[in-house]
Structure 1
Amino acid sequence: MPSFPTTSVQEARAALAGRLRELRLDAGITGRELARRSDWSVAKSSRIENAVTAPSDADVQAWCTACDAADQAADLIAANRQADSMYVQWKRLQRRGMKQLQEASTARYERTRRFRVYASHVIPGYLQTPGYATALMSTIAAFRGTPDDVSEAVKARMERARVLHEGDRRFATLIEESVLHHRVGDTDVMAGQLGALLAAMALPSMSLGIIPATAPREQVMWPLEQFTIFDDARIHVELLAAKVTVTAPGELDIYLRAFARLFDLAVHGTEARALILRSIEALH
């Protein structure tokens, strides 16, 4: 039974389930009769109608057929796929390798004018050096057992990062200090990556803050999952097993408020530079 961890996904699933229930009621049939017509169990009908189980496209088609509403199947399948896209396992996203995933997100990066990124695990993709990205993606490919197209994926990520230098965009980036000390690649790779962070601070489009390990956590008590906010309208949250897309207004507000509080914890300018330099010195 799939578990959907955000209200965005839950609301989308509930809305779809509600529409399917309305079709059944309009058809004047019981859940038992729908199950008979669809050649599945009564329990399955109940799970779908109560948004406990996510239906497949075939399930939606069968439901509509059973309710003499085949003409509505296409729209409901589209809604089902939209809900499904809100929680997508990395295994599914990367089943053909990582290059395709990088290229698929390029259009969104090009459309976005304001980025807000909170990094609690690794350096954000648009600030990664080729060496850091190669080491990171190699580890990911090995851990998840995905096709090894690391070289091509790194090239695609570097190409996507051109948004840092093009157009009227703004990047507010917050990085936990622990990320500066987490070794990705060898010493030279980390030194190059940290040096690139220092250089990025000079970009007119960039606001880079470091959240010190000693920062008080009364308002935000622990490092959160890594997330990217696109124009205050869409958020991608990176979990270990999946990418979650957040679009529900109430949940967007939670992440926006969290980002604002994390921003207040961060240091910028000279203080941030000092923390990065300290991390470089600790490499040797």
Structure 2
Amino acid sequence: MSPTSPSSSVQQARQALADRLRDIRLDAGLTARQIAHACGWHESKCSRIEHARTAPSQDDIRAWCAACGAEGQAEDLIASLRAMNSMYVEWRRLLRSGLRRQQESRLPLYERTRHFRSYSSWLVPGLLQTRAYAAAVLNTARRSQDLPDDVAEAVASRMQRQRILHEGDHRFAFLIEETVLRNAVADAETLAGQLDHLITSSSLPSVSLGIIPTQTDRARWPAEGFWIFDDAQVNVELVSSYLTITQPREIHDYARVFAELSSMAVYGSAARSVITSAIESLH
């Protein structure tokens, strides 16, 4: 899986599970008809599973592995199935209780995480947002999803969450594309205040801020924004969905991409110079 196309992550996860089941069948020297006969299924069910048109149930996976003499692989495959089922949440389902509840629900994850890695290709990350910038962003989300207006409460919750920048032994590595500094998600005054706040935040001892210049000669193009929480979880925010990824292999993929993007970024005084240039362009 490549983080440059996360909108297909669910289907790719389903196909990966199907491929593993097919490999188990082939390793056992069995045909799809023999699997179906052993499990008491119609043969077409095996075809639908192997072509990722139908997701197997946990009982299906156990029966398949038993028929192939591969009972020891069943629990790992079931873990993959559970991860696949939980990784895709539609925005309306996620936000059905309002923006404030959505903000509050993430707080335990942020509090228990020690090492944060965040990449953004279109917005300033929430932990670095000013109150005015956050209000502009959340108001846009509210209007696009036709949600109740609890933006003020949601902004207050987001601001409260930012205390973790100053507490405990958390470490933060933020990467943003230079275009984020110039995206007109708010009025010029709000954006200028946000950029000035970025400069201030970059001096915090817990924070590393890297900016990937627009003209970078790069082997990897901008991807969807994602957060890596320790080595336990990756969250990817899409237009229509919110992905939660917990498979170690996929987390490793995102960590590798984050390292590649980090190598293209500028830091310290060079990053502050890029931000200052963006501020000047507003005037």
Q: Same fold (TM over 0.5)?
A: yes
- CA-CA distance at 1:53 after TM superposition: 3.8
- Written as runs of structure 1 = structure 2, the 5 A alignment for 1:88-103 is 88-103=89-104
* Residue 224 of structure 2 is aligned to residue 225 of structure 1: yes
Secondary structure of residue in 2 paired with 1:196: helix
Other-structure match for 1:145: 146
Other-structure match for 1:200: 201
In structure 1, the gaps of 5 or more residues are: 33-41, 64-76
Letter in 2 for 1:31: H
- CA-CA distance at 1:80 after TM superposition: 6.4
Other-structure match for 1:30: 41
In structure 2, the gaps of 5 or more residues are: 1-6, 23-31, 61-77
Secondary structure of residue in 1 paired with 2:263: helix
The answer (yes or no) to whether the contact 1:8–1:246 under 8 Å persists in 2 is no
Q: How far apart in 2 are the matches of 1:106 and 1:223?
A: 27
* Residue 236 of structure 2 is aligned to residue 237 of structure 1: yes
Larger deviation, residues 160-169 vs 78-87: 78-87
- Written as runs of structure 1 = structure 2, the 5 A alignment for 1:1-284 is 5-6=9-10, 9-10=13-14, 14=18, 29-31=40-42, 47=48, 51-54=52-55, 82-217=83-218, 219-220=219-220, 222-284=221-283
Q: How far apart in 2 are the matches of 1:92 and 1:175?
A: 28
CA offsets per residue over residues 180-227 of structure 1, 9 Å max, x none?
Answer: 00012211111111111011011000000111111111x21x111101
Other-structure match for 2:25: none
Q: How far apart in 1 are the matches of 2:102 and 2:86?
A: 14
Change (3 A) 1:254 1:6: farther
Secondary structure of residue in 2 paired with 1:162: helix
The answer (yes or no) to whether the contact 2:129–2:194 under 8 Å persists in 1 is yes
Other-structure match for 2:75: none
The answer (yes or no) to whether the contact 1:90–1:242 under 8 Å persists in 2 is yes
Change (3 A) 1:28 1:14: closer
Q: How far apart in 2 are the matches of 1:174 and 1:100?
A: 27
- CA-CA distance at 1:13 after TM superposition: 6.1
Q: How far apart in 2 are the matches of 1:11 and 1:116?
A: 28
Change (3 A) 1:78 1:125: same
The answer (yes or no) to whether the contact 2:117–2:173 under 8 Å persists in 1 is yes
Q: How far apart in 1 are the matches of 2:50 and 2:95?
A: 31
CA offsets per residue over residues 62-121 of structure 1, 9 Å max, x none?
Answer: x9xxxxxxxxxxxxx998665322011112111222111111111000000000111101
CA offsets per residue over residues 239-277 of structure 1, 9 Å max, x none?
Answer: 211111222232222211111111111001111001111
Number of residues of Structure 1 aligned to a counterpart in Structure 2: 251
Q: How far apart in 2 are the matches of 1:276 and 1:143?
A: 29
Q: How far apart in 2 are the matches of 1:237 and 1:264?
A: 21
TM-score (norm 1): 0.77
Q: Percent identity?
A: 47
Q: How far apart in 2 are the matches of 1:248 and 1:8?
A: 13
